[in-house]
Structure 1
Amino acid sequence: MNKLGIEQQAWKLWYELPAMKWEEALPIGNGRLGGMVFGGMGCERIQLNEDTLWAGFPRDTNNYEALRYLKRTRSSVDSGEYAEAERLINEKMLGVNTEPYQPLGNLWVEHAGLPANDNGSYRRELDLATGIASSEYGLGNGKVLREAYVSAVDDVMVVTYEASAGELELLVSVDSLLPHKVGAERDKLVLTGHCPTHVADNYKGDHPHPVLFEDGGGLSFELQLKVLLEDGAVSETSDGRLHITGARKVTLLLAAATDFVRYDKAPAGLQAASARCTDRMAVAETRGSSGLLSNHTKDHTRMFGRVELNLGMTAAADQPTDKRLIAYRNGGEDPQLEALYLQYGRYLLMASSRPGTQPANLQGIWNHQVQPPWNSNYTININTQMNYWPAEVCALSECHSPLFEMLRELEESGQRTAKIHYAARGWVAHHNTDLWRSTVPTGGDASWAFWPLGGAWLTRHLWEHYAYSLDLSFLEKTAYPLLKGSAMFLLDFLIEGPGGYLVTNPSTSPENKFVTQSGELSSVSLASTMDISMVRELFTHCIKACRLLEADSPFVVELEAALLKLPPLQIGRHGQLQEWFYDFEESEPGHRHISQLYDLHPGERMTEETPELLAAARISLERRLSHGGGHTGWSCAWLINQFARLRDGEEAHRFVRTLLSRSTHANLFNDGPPFQIDGNFGGTAGIAEMLLQSHKAAIALLPALPSAWPEGSVSGLRARGGFTVGITWDGGEWRHASITAAANGICMIAHSGEFEVRDEAGASIACEGGAFQVIAGESYLLSRLEE
């Protein structure tokens, strides 16, 4: 039990059979190196990824003709010729597609002589609390325990086999879908390969030797595997495998690296990749099996154990995860499966985004295809941002740092795009980017490709990190320069429009289209609601930052003048929040994006203080849903967060159920379809949002608690203002809460009833209007008083 009375429990996914397909395998990772563990008995497969293994190479993708057509496009929009404006953008102002994230390869371990029938003793599991995927099966009179993990401390994958009786005979090999060579020497395998400089957009399938590569220019990579034995022997075979015999315990160490240097630097060559692997392997060998395990578990449990959640136990918790999920789809109640989903999302973020790695991409870090869906890239018109919604509230703030590093690089790349495409100051990024930090519009259609607000949305994460941490040094050195650069671009991109308002032109609402007065479909107009919401938010964040840092007063004046001229949010003919400046009819009323509701979530402008906007937001959601909206996994996850902000716990929980029932694979990966990890992260953030909100300068305890969770407890969630929060509740109402402060100040609790506050010594603390003084490092216990 912890101090809130929360029962510690095992956070595990487990199964009675090996994975039959990739979406049933179990993910492990350290942010840089990833594996999908299938758990086969006679033959184990671990599919491998490395976070810098992308097609492509550094190049200038800017469209030097785009600026010539900006004025003509704006003129077409001004005259209501929206289809013509879209044609100009599609033909003259777009760029090239991003490059795809690539699969590294596979580790294969054949257990020679293993009986086909395991006599029902098989079990595989993923322990979220330790970050270890394991399987256990019979061997003679005993069992074999196989464990796999990826150490963030030592930067290697470790796979161990241990037999309780009898001896192990294993055949170990590695391969890749990319062009490669494998060499074997005594107790070591080395795989070297070359990445494509471009993958054809129409490539389909996983043919082992796809004809899609250009020579030269792409990344090189190397994978090294080393066998450590406590007994037994290992030798190389004539077909390039390692043969292990007579062993009781086997440890396989795997290191992998590319020759990637930086987004704007040429690859360093295969020798660089080899040296990186060799250095990591040398350190790992000195640690040994026990030292590696100790380092890994200490690091992993330190992070994972920050949050505990109990939503109520059910008998289903004793069932295998896949059977448990089937029962849930059939209407069974399983609140602890919903709690497991939150913890799984936290685990996935830890495994795919650590300091010093690349950010979590569209599939986190796990991809088995040469041409993955949507290139498995960074889609920054919702999906990448959703990946990081849980980072702060779920106590994984350090997992946010790879996104901030990518933002630094996007600023560099985006400065050229801002100048070349728009003759603007600052920096810009559109709807997609990749390892090479492309900031141009992609190819395709304006409805998705032309959206120069992607970078602005990403800057919200900088402000969120400050709001949760109160780290002024981060605000000054990292956040504010990026915020200012994005705001400078938007100041230059805004032009005067109808009614003297400052508007974005041309403008799209991500991926959606409207019906023009002439009956044509178009995505291009002016001042989409999302554009203006994000401009207003970014300018406001910049002003707040300037005042906190006591800097840049002239810039504040410029921003404040622009804010006064932005158009207001508008309510349309159906009572909905308008998606565009004009009250267009949507061509697809059930569209998966709900971009016009940005100010409800993740933004903060729509609250109980703006009831008319909340009502319009609800109507917008109802219209989307009545026409089939929320049909993709990530859009369903966004709905959880939206209804949580509306304080509607029943609807929020309905979409928790929908996400798990309709859009979740057996391994709990989000099924878009296909697999996209954003749904996992968005669902995790949504469950947290139901339990705790802090976006309006006050902490709201259980703001959207559904009747399905009448009793429960949570600890370790974080609130803006530098607070860590724990809550226990029953009868659908909170009874006790703990608030731990990271800084001196005032804590405000958004609760209309009475409660008392006591410090760590049990002394009563004065509380007026829901506010009380706090001291850094100290905790306070809140108790609800009967009303």
Structure 2
Amino acid sequence: MNRNDQQLYYTQPANEWEEALPIGNGRIGAMVFGSISRERLQLNEDTLWSGFPRDTNNYEALRYLKQSRELIAAGKYAEAEALIEQKMLALNCQAYQPFGDLFVTWLNAPEQAAGYKRGLDLETAVAFMELEADGARYTRQAWVSVPHQIFALTYRSEGKAMDLEASFSLPHPSNSSSSSQDYTIEGRCPTHIADNYFGDHPYAVQYEEDRGIIFQSKLRALSDGSVEYTAEGIKVKDATYVYFIGSIATSFTAFDEQPHQHYSLLSKDNLAVLDAIKGYTYEELMDAHRLEHQRLYKRMSFTLGRAEEGHELPTDERLARYKQGAMDLGLESLYFNYGRYLLITSSRPGTQPANLQGIWNHRVQPPWNSDYTTNINTEMNYWPAELLSLSECHEPLLQMIEELAETGARTAKIHYKAEGWVAHHNVDIWRMSSPTGGHPSWAFWPMGGVWLTQHLWERYLFHPDLDYLKEKAYPLLKGAAQFCLDWLIEDEQGQLITSPSTSPENKFVYDQGKVSSVAQASAMDMTLIRELFEHVIEASELLNEDEPFRTELSAALEKMVKLKVNDKGLLQEWDVDFEEHEPGHRHVSHLYGLYPGTTIQQPELIEAARQTLGSRISHGGGHTGWSCAWLINLYARLGMKEDTYTFIRTLLERSTYTNLFDAHPPFQIDGNFGGIAGMAEALVQSHRESIELLPTLPEPWEAGEVSGLMARGGFKLSIQWEDSKLTEATILSLYGKPLQLSYKHSIVIIDETSGISYNGNEVIETVAGHTYRVQLA
């Protein structure tokens, strides 16, 4: 494996947060700055949120639903929008919180140093720093362990002793103390952050003594020098090595339980973690961390071409050259591998899902609350999970959907007198399912839960396990479909539509200059519901149950309004062909059925989608990081190689910080995850009946290899290509499903149910003279 696409490195410390390097174990995260004399680890813990369980539903909303529909039917869209804003929205969700900072001051640091280097090794999930001064060599490592649930910052010296002081600094009310074996910091999260989602002025932050999440960290130092613990921190003298090892505990227990207020319980939890590692050497702890990370990370590999000029340069210099037009395929594969690393380190079984910033946030008042924004961003975070053999990393999102169905059932009844469950645009750790406060263009969107259910179905498609479908996925899919059946209404032509309806965050122009975001039957609504109904019908057939409900859904599908193409050849975003308010809008919600959905398959709709993309982009669309990432996936699905690669380059050139974080701007991690999903989509697609190999291979990617990609149906693939031609593919069947392969429009079908068996040594000569080895698990 090429080291140049497995390591980020720099020749100077980070000055800004967006230059620091992320480490994490899904629960605990840290940004490592690599400063010489005063190291900073900015710490996070994924259950640190403002607020507490509360009823956010608006008990008056239902009273105005009929009136809003009547206004829309009469073409009084702006009046309906105003009514919804005033009467049918609810409270803002809560915000993800930083823990604080660990600072380590090197008291006798050299005034001048040589050979400085800091970096992040993606294969080991270790951030490092090294330098030389006065004949001595100094190294640092920082990492966060999954097996032992600790964070570590280590110092080593070869030649001279070090004097160090470590202390925490928190942005919250806090107290510190010490014992003979550890230094402790305790803090409290705010209970409220005022409803100011997009405002320019600071949020109002409120702390209460008897409510909200409390937290604690204990830090220990293992060293060959002298160690002193005080209430101000840890002092270490005359050391050639120091291992700072810490644990974090919070009082969060569940989304529907009040956080406890007992620091003694947090202390007990932290001591249990730290005492459990007493019998291990540092090397053993590091090895356990590294092996667990590599268990997921080494499932796949991705390499492009040969090394270009500049591949040995520091990452920031490589990126700068790339932004000036230089070719660097190694940087593109580094970006891909970095995205895999970020998902592994921000989302693990038993943790919270990756939010807008993964798990890395340094603000008490983060942009967009660093929440779960379910009109694209949360879903985009998990587009690559199944595809890149990281199904375990998908589990936190699937668990959140299960929890959201509980809160969403109450919201469905209270807001809409509907069965099933609903979720809107913003979700937090308390699984808020009601509309947020704000403007209807984004706050009123009862399709969040419907979109999330696609992840349940995708999980089944990649891992066709009927027990999972029956016990986990189907009840949640059915609940979302029950809500949609109640939400749909008949229009004057007897067609089923949604009303009120929005297309996420977009607006339209009508009646000679009036502007609104509220109408009926947006393409996004109808596509989401159509695909959900189709998934539930198929699941019902597979499980051989719920035939009456299946029949009801089939009847509804027949009556649902269909997508339309307007006179300009564009896909209509609403049922009425309104004038676009922002022709270059960042959302392309009406193209959901192309990607990540699958229902845009008819030639006329595909062509309309192509024209719609071209129109959006010609007016400035794709200007945010995540929006650009979506374009990569859409063009990959369309088989448009040049455009796919154009937006891969655009994502790195225009929307990437020097630490390779996605720049919305500001930082949002969805662009990283959406970007690598699109890169994989160019190599393998399996959303139709066959597995398509290299369907949208960009011309600059003329040579490469990838192993460990997953395809729907439960297949694991490794493929190689030279001169833009497939040279070899190995497909491992994990579930014994029939296999249909496609390459350059030629198809081979291998029906494993026919009794024909293959093994890894048998070669099947198939399409166009290319070789496939098919293996059965």
Query: Does the 8 Å contact 2:701/2:724 carry over to 1?
Result: yes
Determine which of 618, 621, 626 is the counterpart of 1:626: 618
Mapping of residues 70-149 of structure 1, within 5 Å: 70-119=65-114, 121-149=115-143
Determine which of 297, 309, 322 is the counterpart of 1:304: 297
Deviation of 1:7 after TM superposition, in Å, equals 6.3
Matched residues in 1 for 2:394 and 2:252: separation? 22
Letter in 2 for 1:83: A
Determine which of 735, 748, 752 is the counterpart of 2:727: 735
Deviation of 1:760 after TM superposition, in Å, equals 3.9
Mapping of residues 270-285 of structure 1, within 5 Å: 270-285=263-278
Query: Does the 8 Å contact 2:195/2:437 carry over to 1?
Result: no
**Secondary structure of 1:459's partner?**
helix
Matched residues in 2 for 1:375 and 1:643: separation? 31
Query: Does the 8 Å contact 1:48/1:106 carry over to 2?
Result: yes
Query: Could you state the TM-score of these two structures normalised by the residue count of structure 2?
Result: 0.96
Task: State the partner residue of 1:218.
Answer: 212
503-512 or 187-196: which moved more? 187-196
Change over 3 Å in CA distance of 1:710–1:488 after alignment to 2 = same
Determine which of 574, 588, 605 is the counterpart of 1:580: 574
Query: In the alignment, does 2:415 pair up with 1:415?
Result: no
Write out per-residue CA displacement over residues 693-732 of structure 1, whole angstroms, 9 at most, x where no aligned residue: 1000211111111111111111111111111111111121
Write out per-residue CA displacement over residues 179-229 of structure 1, whole angstroms, 9 at most, x where no aligned residue: 10111334421000111101235699999x996434431111101111112
Letter in 1 for 2:10: Y
Write out per-residue CA displacement over residues 522-575 of structure 1, whole angstroms, 9 at most, x where no aligned residue: 111111000000000000110111111111111111111111111111101211
Query: In the alignment, does 2:516 pair up with 1:526?
Result: no
Letter in 1 for 2:377: N
Change over 3 Å in CA distance of 1:25–1:772 after alignment to 2 = closer
Task: State the partner residue of 2:64.
Answer: 69
Letter in 1 for 2:322: Y
Letter in 2 for 1:417: T
Mapping of residues 198-209 of structure 1, within 5 Å: 198-201=192-195
Determine which of 358, 372, 383 is the counterpart of 1:378: 372
Matched residues in 2 for 1:124 and 1:369: separation? 24
Matched residues in 1 for 2:200 and 2:31: separation? 19
User: Any unmatched runs of 5+ in structure 1?
Assistant: 1-5, 779-787
Deviation of 1:246 after TM superposition, in Å, equals 1.9
Query: In the alignment, does 2:228 pair up with 1:235?
Result: yes
Deviation of 1:294 after TM superposition, in Å, equals 1.2
Query: In the alignment, does 2:32 pair up with 1:28?
Result: no
Query: Does the 8 Å contact 1:199/1:213 carry over to 2?
Result: no
Matched residues in 1 for 2:378 and 2:108: separation? 46
Query: In the alignment, does 2:529 pair up with 1:535?
Result: yes
Change over 3 Å in CA distance of 1:74–1:458 after alignment to 2 = same
Determine which of 491, 495, 518 is the counterpart of 1:497: 491
Letter in 2 for 1:301: Q
Query: Does the 8 Å contact 1:742/1:776 carry over to 2?
Result: no
Query: In the alignment, does 2:320 pair up with 1:326?
Result: yes
Query: In the alignment, does 2:627 pair up with 1:635?
Result: yes
Query: Does the 8 Å contact 1:186/1:242 carry over to 2?
Result: no
Change over 3 Å in CA distance of 1:322–1:764 after alignment to 2 = closer
Determine which of 398, 415, 420 is the counterpart of 1:404: 398
Mapping of residues 581-600 of structure 1, within 5 Å: 581-600=575-594
Mapping of residues 167-566 of structure 1, within 5 Å: 167-201=161-195, 212-229=206-223, 231-236=224-229, 240-269=232-261, 270-312=263-305, 313-566=307-560
Query: Does the 8 Å contact 1:418/1:489 carry over to 2?
Result: yes
**Secondary structure of 1:137's partner?**
strand
Task: State the partner residue of 1:611.
Answer: 603
Mapping of residues 41-52 of structure 1, within 5 Å: 41-52=36-47
**Secondary structure of 2:285's partner?**
helix
Q: Number of matched residues?
A: 767
Determine which of 692, 708, 723 is the counterpart of 1:716: 708
Write out per-residue CA displacement over residues 403-457 of structure 1, whole angstroms, 9 at most, x where no aligned residue: 0111111000000000000000000000001011100110111100000000000
Deviation of 1:284 after TM superposition, in Å, equals 2.6
Deviation of 1:765 after TM superposition, in Å, equals 4.4
Query: Does the 8 Å contact 1:198/1:214 carry over to 2?
Result: no
Letter in 2 for 1:294: D
Task: State the partner residue of 2:13.
Answer: 18
**Secondary structure of 2:327's partner?**
coil
Query: Does the 8 Å contact 1:749/1:771 carry over to 2?
Result: no
Letter in 2 for 1:92: K
Matched residues in 1 for 2:303 and 2:438: separation? 46
Matched residues in 1 for 2:634 and 2:760: separation? 39
Matched residues in 2 for 1:776 and 1:221: separation? 50
Matched residues in 2 for 1:362 and 1:355: separation? 18
Task: State the partner residue of 2:33.
Answer: 38
Task: State the partner residue of 1:782.
Answer: none
Determine which of 645, 654, 661 is the counterpart of 1:669: 661
Deviation of 1:476 after TM superposition, in Å, equals 1.1
Query: Does the 8 Å contact 2:77/2:518 carry over to 1?
Result: yes
Letter in 1 for 2:87: K
Query: Does the 8 Å contact 1:86/1:523 carry over to 2?
Result: yes
Letter in 1 for 2:237: T
Letter in 2 for 1:300: H
Query: Does the 8 Å contact 2:760/2:775 carry over to 1?
Result: no
721-730 or 379-388: which moved more? 721-730
Matched residues in 1 for 2:124 and 2:364: separation? 31
Percent pairwise identity: 50
Letter in 2 for 1:478: K
Change over 3 Å in CA distance of 1:206–1:401 after alignment to 2 = farther
Determine which of 680, 686, 691 is the counterpart of 1:688: 680
Task: State the partner residue of 1:785.
Answer: none
Matched residues in 1 for 2:236 and 2:204: separation? 33
Change over 3 Å in CA distance of 1:108–1:726 after alignment to 2 = same
Report the aligned-residue RMSD. Answer: 2.2
Determine which of 160, 166, 170 is the counterpart of 1:166: 160
**Secondary structure of 1:216's partner?**
coil
Query: Does the 8 Å contact 1:710/1:729 carry over to 2?
Result: yes
Matched residues in 1 for 2:655 and 2:205: separation? 34
**Secondary structure of 2:48's partner?**
coil
Query: Does the 8 Å contact 2:4/2:312 carry over to 1?
Result: no
Change over 3 Å in CA distance of 1:346–1:82 after alignment to 2 = same
Matched residues in 2 for 1:10 and 1:283: separation? 36
Query: Could you state the TM-score of these two structures normalised by the residue count of structure 1?
Result: 0.94
